[in-house]
Amino acid sequence: MMAGMPPDAIREIFQRQHEASRAQPQVPLTLRRERLLRLGKLLQEHAPVLAAAVQADFGMRSPHLTEVADFFVLRAQLAHTLRHLARWSRPQRVRTPLALQPARAFIERQPLGVVGVIAPWNYPVQLSLAPAMSALAAGNRVLLKPSELTPHTSAQLAALVAQFFAPEEFAVAQGDAATAALVASLPFDHLVFTGSTAVGRKVAQAAAANLTPTTLELGGKSPCIIDADCDLQDAVLKIAHGKLLNAGQTCIAPDYVLLPRGSEAAFADAYQAAVARLFPYFEGNPDYASIINTRHLARLRTMLQQAQTLGAQLRVLQPVPGSPPRPPQSIGDGVGRQMAPVLVFGATAQMQLMQEEIFGPVLPVLGYERLDDAVAHINSQPRPLALYWFGRNNAVRDEVLGRTVSGGVSVNDTLLHVAHDNLPFGGVGDSGWGAYHGEAGFLRFCHQKSVLVQSRWNLGQLLYPPYGARFERVLALLKRLA
């Protein structure tokens, strides 16, 4: 069990950060850069320790996966932020309308103050430090609550952040769901939550009591549409990679596939071949992550059992013959939670796996007669965090993009839009609101303060009362010039 921080200690840290932010409302660019460089040093010097902690929390998750999905993303974000921070931080000049000239105006980008981050367990380093990095870049103080489901990683983050930052700059509050509820109730200047839609609603309600603005990065059922003219083998390999990265425990993982009716068998064979190429075996494969805990594994198995009871056909993928046997020892019970991938055919709306985000290596495959049917199905559901389209016809692609709404899109691939530093990452509707990454993240954690600097000579006084003929002449002139 994770040792939780006492509630009074959390409140004290928040108060220290709050007071520090009010004492220094504008944070110099040099200090922002120095804080980011400290965060980079933390990653550079302690990535192996953090990767080992993630491995211990999952039971089986390759350090190579953590390197790609957590550290590589963070390093790229850090380099991009440092490269552009000076430009992002400058006041933005804006054009002044004729009626207000010769005044000048600009928008000053100021830190909000104190930003709270409630992070999930699936990518416990990246999804803790990425929003924190954007908030620090904008000059804010940060209080991070990492997930209780990854206690080793959370403890390492707490120790390392305390080593590199003063508590009034950046601190970590460890604890269970009650700690997360406490953090959500604090009067932050902004609060970031990444997790399920159900918990996101609770976080939004708690934040609303303090009028705290939020960024909610939630999930949903992200669809893949396969067009009739796509390269099926290439599409299926990319779908398999996107689905099985971290064993499907990814908020933007493909949740289900829509493909032309009659292609189901070809898809299943191609998927089996793609999985065999990526993961020749499952149990004991260090490249294939385990399900985070027995409760989540039981949930996935219950989903499958219910689907089968209601008439769905399951295809449980098998390891390649001759693959290495299960090792005699494992890290914790991780090997026992390495769930074989499953394709589901004949899924219906009554099934749990079509009502909830799956968050595991289970992929329903649905056939459609016409593109209109696929689009109508997507639009009948809550708006997803991601959408994936595979095909060669740009007109069809543009039709799909124009007729659907999602947080983000990758065309002829999966997941990769989230790795583009110039693309905002965020949801819409039930999949969340607000976005970060790159300049969008910087602005999310800034207050854009409007400033007008009046000239000694200006026309404004000509519109002061008492109203009369002069007022009418000036107003008529301004209407003609508008």
Q: Which residues participate in catalysis according to the annotation?
A: 217, 251
Q: What are phi and psi of 172, to 5 degrees?
A: -120, 130
**Residue environment code for 343-352, b if the CB has 16+ CB neighbours within 10 A, otherwise e:** bbbbbeeebb
Beta bridge partners of 117: 144, 192
H, E, C per residue of 310-344? CCCEEEECCCCCCCCCCCCCCCCCCHHHCCCCEEE
Q: What are phi and psi of 267, to 5 degrees?
A: -65, -45
107-111-112-116 Cα dihedral, nearest 10 degrees: 150
379, containing H or E segment: helix 371-379
Considering only CA atoms, which of 433, 360, 442, 409 is closest in space to residue 200? 433
Q: What is the C-alpha separation between 253 and 241, in angstroms, rounded?
A: 9
Beta strands of 310-456 (E only): which ranges? 313-316, 342-345, 362-368, 386-390, 408-411, 425-426, 432-433, 435-436, 446-453
195 within 8 A of 218, measured Cβ to Cβ: yes
Q: How many CA atoms lie within 13 A of 163 on its CB side?
A: 12
Helix and strand tally (H, E) in the chain? 15, 18
105, containing H or E segment: strand 104-111
**Token couple for 351:** 């099934």
CA 439 vs. chain centroid, Å, equals 15
**Token couple for 240:** 């398999």
143 within 8 A of 13, measured Cβ to Cβ: yes
CA 175 vs. chain centroid, Å, equals 22
Helix axes 177-185, 197-208, angle to 10 degrees: 40
Q: Distance of CA 94 to CAs 87, 104, 105, 106, 451, Å? A: 15, 8, 6, 5, 10
**Token couple for 102:** 């010769």
316 within 8 A of 342, measured Cβ to Cβ: yes
